[in-house]
Amino acid sequence: MSASHDHAHLHAQTADAAVGAAVSALRERGERVTAPRRAVLKVLADHSDHLTADEVASLLGDGDVHRATVYRTLELLADTGVVSHRHIAGGAARYHLAATPEGTEHLHGHCRGCGRVVVLRPDAFERARDLLRAEGFVLDVEQSTFSGSCTACADS
């Protein structure tokens, strides 16, 4: 797999830069940056995987941030677009930083066969977005994960 399609490689940046981009995005949207929000952002920045709320709470450890606060924080971060979330049939919602340092913007393709997350260019759906807008619908690809098959699974 090429580095341009490798999700973990794309997130090899420092966690501090990712948290900084997310904090800036929160402030631009008029939201407060609280200690629990910063802690949740740090956990997400430290992991290229898409984590469930329970995984985030477990990674935060006992006593740092209450589990209910983690759920509310992830919901707010998703509502503001700072965090993207995806739902896979039969599974819990998974969360991932959407506000990233400049040059690391990307969309997600989820392989139904092997579960790998494939990086998609942010402009990959511009034509579809334009066609749908002409039909009276605005597509929000930034908050979406596209389901399909990676080339390895599709070729097998």
pLDDT in tens, 129-143: 888 899 999 877 765
**Number of domain units in the chain:** 1
Domain encompassing residue 100: 3-155
> Structure pTM?
0.72
Sequence-separated contacts (24+) of 82-86 with Cβ below 8 Å: 82/22, 82/25, 82/26, 82/29, 82/41, 83/22, 83/44, 84/108, 84/142, 84/143, 84/144, 84/145, 85/143, 86/50, 86/110, 86/144, 86/145
Q: What is the CATH number of the domain that holds 101?
A: 1.10.10.10
Instruction: Kindly report, residue by residue over 112-124, the tens digit of the pLDDT.
Output: 888 777 777 778 8
Nearest CA-CA partner of 82 in 11, 19, 125: 19
